Structure 1
Amino acid sequence: MIETNVPAFAELSEFASLTAGGSVIFATDDFFAPCENMLHDTEPVFIADKYTEFGKWMDGWETRRKRIPGHDWCILKLATKCVIRGLLVDTAFFTGNYAPKYSIQAACLTPEEEALLPGRDTQMGAACSECDLKRVEQLKSDKWEEIVPITALRPGYEESRMNYQKVLCDEAWRYIRVNIYPDGGIARLRVYGEAKPEAPPASQLVDLASMLSGTTCIGYSNAHYGHPRNIIKPSKGDTMADGWETARRLDRPEVLEATDDGTLIVTGEEWAVFKLGFCGRIKNICVDTAHFKGNFPDSIKVEGALLDKEWSHTKSTKWYNILKQSKLSANKEHWFSCNSDAITHIRVTMAPDGGISRIRTFGHVEPTIL
């Protein structure tokens, strides 16, 4: 059943978008608009008078009107192996040309099977070559596990564009096949879930807060302009929209004053809590305010705790400082040394408000508490 309200799974990390590390491996047709558009992080746009030599320019994936047997489909490689909890198929602005129905299949491939994948040559106005199609057919992707059956889509008007779909499967997958029936367009595809990586060796320095390590955002105070789950993406932030940005707090003082260490005296703050993929000990923290030039937070602190798997941010707990309140500046990576105990959760607090692009917490997995 398609959900019309924003479901809880949409708060989870997203693994198909380009900045998360998702990619298009294969598509049967890219005639009007290439498949990679479907994975852009930005909101879809419509430019009324923009045309290409192949027809109307559309901000999404759009295939030609099919005049041969079959239906169109593509294969995507997700950012990491993950349990898929739900999807969003956004048909924004595809009103008379949206794909009427879709389905999703999923798989994990062996190294030998991955070697069969052809190189991707994105060309508007093109269809896949017979040679590439024959190579991909060896994967038998039409027999992959079906995690979303054939499901109707709605046209891309504002009131009907957002097609959410819950997935009831606890298997972890790395590749998905997106089938559209028989042709048409999709503006954006989002794949929400939980990363399931293998535990790294205890000697290896890893980003414990990365979404690729299995970290998820489980609570926050404000996400007016950008969700805090963005700050644990593996790639560098593209724009302010690709970070965590709050509204301006209405309780900030009329006249600002500073403490002896240079941080401002404010009455409020904003926070986000993250459950780490692995229990670990943090050695270094990087707070990146890239693109936030007139709206970066004055200061930030990071706290940690060792909690059980069922803990919720609505429960009280005792947090301890990993990084004390520290001054920030515009459009810059800020590096801090620390030496935390073994922790499973972190709380990131900015004062009084503003935006950060990324946070990195480098450390070692605690092998006795996975």
Structure 2
Amino acid sequence: MTNAPASATATATATATALAPDVFSLPDLASRELAGAVVWANDEFFAEKENLILPGDPVFDPALFGLKGKVYDGWETRRRRDPGEDTAIIRLGVPGRVHGVVVDTAYFRGNYPPRVAVDGVWIDGHPTMDDLLDAPWQLLVPPSPVAGDARNSFEVPDPARRPVTHVRLRMLPDGGVARLRVHGEPTPDPRFLTGTIDLAAAENGGRVVDCSDLFYSSPENIIAPGRSRHMGEGWENARRRGDGNDHVTLALAGEGTVDRVEIDTSYYIGNAPGAASLRGVRCVDDLGSPDRWIDLVSRTPLLPDCRHRFVVPPTEQVRYVRLDVFPDGGIARLRVHGRLTEAALNAMASAVPADH
């Protein structure tokens, strides 16, 4: 994603991001906002395991102490006095192929683990703890040194990028980790994507591939689950002082036909866009070809703090959509309701492990 201003006449921007996304710009599959959960840890004496996947950056209060000592915004185990390692298991909010992992040790300076490792496994359904503890875990990140009070980033090599439903963080031998981010390519279960769905939703496999400006907040927010609760949970760009307009491009869960669109400006009262449009294109190679894009919602005025809903006339199938706001302003949510093609559903089914 870039912060460059958009051209007033540009219809689409073909970006390297769309073709080969940066590993750490891919969705965080473990995010609590996508219903990820830390389901088990062998020890959480000083700080709770659930902190690992909280949204937002860790915080630190130097004066805050509890009965067990200093309070940290992260997962922290006691000092290990016997051989072994400390482990937490996370159920991903959306199954997927893991491309990169961030182990953030923010504020853990004298109590961070010297090394960490990350494993993954695919287990269909709703496994018990016995299922998880005895699972055939596969290595994603081998035991690797980490620094304290730092974002430690690890790319997962191609051969290890099998779809997984759970990851396991291991601290060698003990210590504290503030946040765990698991960036990857969603591989949702196609059995739950038949019929009319939100093709743009992150939980269904939609993702942001380009954005003109993300000064105040991330465009990832517009495809998050649920409704925003305040202005900070949408996408807001800077005030535009030059020509052009701001825009965001999304890869849909798969190729599909669009039936309805919702453009939500909730909580944007003095900073909503004056107007917006939504267009779609079928092929990634056509992202930079203005004549290939089709109108889904033609340019239309927007109201502040309002959910705008549009019925889309029958059109050809699309794989990418671009939301343009004129000239700038905040969007809380974008919903692109439609149906995946049979070919898209079959492609998703082929990405799921054979024992699914």
Q: Which TM class, normalised by the smaller chain length?
A: 0.7 to 0.9
User: C-alpha distance in 1, partners of 2:224/2:85?
Assistant: 34
What TM-score results when the alignment is normalised by the length of structure 1? 0.80
Contact 1:201–1:365 (CA<8 Å) still a contact in 2? no
Residue number in structure 1 paired with 2:309: 335
Closer, same or farther: CA 289–99 of 1 in aligned 2, 3 Å: farther
Letter aligned with residue 329 of structure 2: G
Contact 1:273–1:348 (CA<8 Å) still a contact in 2? yes
User: C-alpha distance in 2, partners of 1:238/1:149?
Assistant: 39
Q: Structure 2: which 5+ runs fail to align? A: 1-20, 346-356
Residue number in structure 2 paired with 1:299: 275
SS in 1 for 2:106: coil
Residue number in structure 2 paired with 1:357: 332
User: C-alpha distance in 2, partners of 1:302/1:163?
Assistant: 38
* Deviation of the 1:110 alpha carbon: 3.7
1:180-224: per-residue Cα shift (whole Å, max 9, x none)? Answer: 111111111111111112435886111111122222222121112
User: C-alpha distance in 2, partners of 1:106/1:167?
Assistant: 11
Which among 144, 147, 151 is matched to residue 151 of structure 1? 144
* Deviation of the 1:236 alpha carbon: 3.3
User: C-alpha distance in 1, partners of 2:103/2:120?
Assistant: 16
* Deviation of the 1:33 alpha carbon: 1.6
Residue number in structure 2 paired with 1:177: 168
User: C-alpha distance in 2, partners of 1:301/1:26?
Assistant: 45
* Deviation of the 1:322 alpha carbon: 0.5
Within 5 A, what are the aligned runs for 1:175-254?
175-200=166-191, 204-237=195-228, 239-251=230-242
Residue number in structure 1 paired with 2:133: 139
Letter aligned with residue 196 of structure 1: T
Contact 1:104–1:177 (CA<8 Å) still a contact in 2? yes
Contact 2:36–2:91 (CA<8 Å) still a contact in 1? yes
1:229-265: per-residue Cα shift (whole Å, max 9, x none)? Answer: 23222243355444322111122xxxxxxxxxxxxxx
Closer, same or farther: CA 201–241 of 1 in aligned 2, 3 Å: closer
1:144-190: per-residue Cα shift (whole Å, max 9, x none)? Answer: 1001000111110xxxx121111113311110011111111111111
Given the alignment of the two structures, is residue 116 of structure 1 paired with residue 91 of structure 2, yes or no?
Answer: no
User: C-alpha distance in 1, partners of 2:193/2:112?
Assistant: 49
Residue number in structure 2 paired with 1:288: 264
Letter aligned with residue 345 of structure 1: Y
1:43-100: per-residue Cα shift (whole Å, max 9, x none)? Answer: 1111121122222111111122223442211110111210111111111111112222
The structure whose residues are more often helix, as a share, is: 2
Contact 1:199–1:278 (CA<8 Å) still a contact in 2? no
User: C-alpha distance in 1, partners of 2:120/2:319?
Assistant: 30
* Deviation of the 1:290 alpha carbon: 3.6
What TM-score results when the alignment is normalised by the length of structure 2? 0.83
Contact 1:28–1:74 (CA<8 Å) still a contact in 2? yes
The number of residues matched between the two structures is 322
Moved more, 199-208 or 210-219: 199-208
Contact 1:302–1:348 (CA<8 Å) still a contact in 2? yes
Closer, same or farther: CA 209–24 of 1 in aligned 2, 3 Å: same
Residue number in structure 2 paired with 1:278: 254
* Deviation of the 1:314 alpha carbon: 5.3
SS in 2 for 1:296: coil
Which among 25, 37, 55 is matched to residue 23 of structure 1? 37
Residue number in structure 1 paired with 2:97: 83
* Deviation of the 1:369 alpha carbon: 5.8
Contact 1:15–1:21 (CA<8 Å) still a contact in 2? no
User: C-alpha distance in 2, partners of 1:230/1:202?
Assistant: 21
Closer, same or farther: CA 368–30 of 1 in aligned 2, 3 Å: closer
Residue number in structure 2 paired with 1:256: none
Contact 2:104–2:151 (CA<8 Å) still a contact in 1? yes
Q: How big is the alpha-carbon RMSD for the aligned residues of Structure 1 and Structure 2?
A: 2.3
Letter aligned with residue 103 of structure 1: A
Identity of aligned residues (%): 31
Contact 2:74–2:178 (CA<8 Å) still a contact in 1? yes
